[in-house]
Amino acid sequence: MTYIITGAAGFIGANLVKALNTRGITRIVAVDDLTQGDRFANLVDCQIDDYLDKDEFIAALDRGVFNGTVTALLHQGACSDTTESNGRYMMQNNYRYSRQLLDFCVAQKTPFIYASSAAIYGDLTTFRESSESEKPLNVYGYSKHLFDQFVRRTLPHIHSQVVGLRYFNVYGPREQHKGRMASVAFHFFNQYQNNGKVRLFEGCGGYASGEQQRDFVSVEDVVNVNLYFLDNPLKTGIYNCGTGAAQSFNDVAVASINACRKARGEGALALAAMQAQGLIEYIPFPQDLKGKYQSYTQADLTSLRAAGYAEKFLSVEQGVTRYCEALLARG
């Protein structure tokens, strides 16, 4: 039997491939669009059974090639650029494609675990998996919202596992190909290594400079949540996937800088000292993000905990430090 991972050469998809390999699982069909060829690097140290382009994969599904052969389908493939304005492209990639895969899995009674997003919540202040907490600010968030709504309507009629995971701000290894959409931890690390300082947005939405807060979650924890549901095929539903604790962008900057300083044999500094020494710089808030920016997110983990997931999540101080150490080790 085969595991299928879409978006397998991407950030979270590649980490899932590696995690399955760690379990001794190599019968994996990796599905992705490698038009951006440098993403192949995410799979170099992984073992897979086959690679299929996304369009080739859909055609194979239509021909019945995978009927009766799939253990589970982990759907991570999507356009994740929150600033993408081409709604037609976004809906085709994030909504229609997901519908096709869900239809296949339901017909085959195959477990289907897919990537949703905290972008669904928009600028609201509660983050529960319920319709009153959902107000996406962009077409990316809407594409995820629309599919989650479809899943909600069909869940009562589905007799196999369907799990949607609303990822919050994920950071960690194998995101280097994402460019400007990579995590702030990745950007802060590179800014400090290259320029000796990091740049954060000035205050907005009632928050002081760098004090906007997000639920920053390590890809290590995201993988563990995926594997938990893979190991518990009777669990179904839509769940938040974050730490449950909002932390500031300043916190991420401090953790990134101190990890780099430690590697150089330098002592740790507090935020105020970094500001005084010019290691942290605040830049004007972009005009094009006003009204489309989440200044605060914090996952409500009530549903996830009720589903039995009991593991602790890494804090920014733990996870970002570990991530920066991994980046330094890679050179």
Instruction: List Cβ neighbours of 164 (8 Å cut-off, separation of 6 or more).
Output: 114, 115, 116, 147, 148, 151, 237, 238, 239
Return the number of other C-beta atoms located less than 10 Å from residue 206's C-beta. Answer: 9
The question of whether 140 is a catalytic residue gets the answer yes
- Nearest Cα to Cα of residue 142 among 60, 203, 86, 71: 86
Residue 20, φ and ψ in degrees, nearest 5: -65, -40
What DSSP character marks residue 129?
Answer: S
**Which member of 140, 142, 167, 239 is catalytic?**
140
Helices (H), the chain: 11-22, 54-63, 87-91, 97-108, 139-154, 184-195, 219-231, 249-263, 271-276, 302-306, 316-330
Pairwise CA distance, residues 317 & 200, whole Å: 18
Q: Which two tokens stand for residue 100?
A: 């096709």
**Which member of 178, 197, 235, 262 is catalytic?**
178
- Given a contact cutoff of 8 angstroms between Cβ atoms, the answer to whether 164 and 129 are in contact is no
What DSSP character marks residue 134?
Answer: -
The question of whether 292 is a catalytic residue gets the answer no
Residues annotated catalytic, as ranges: 140, 178
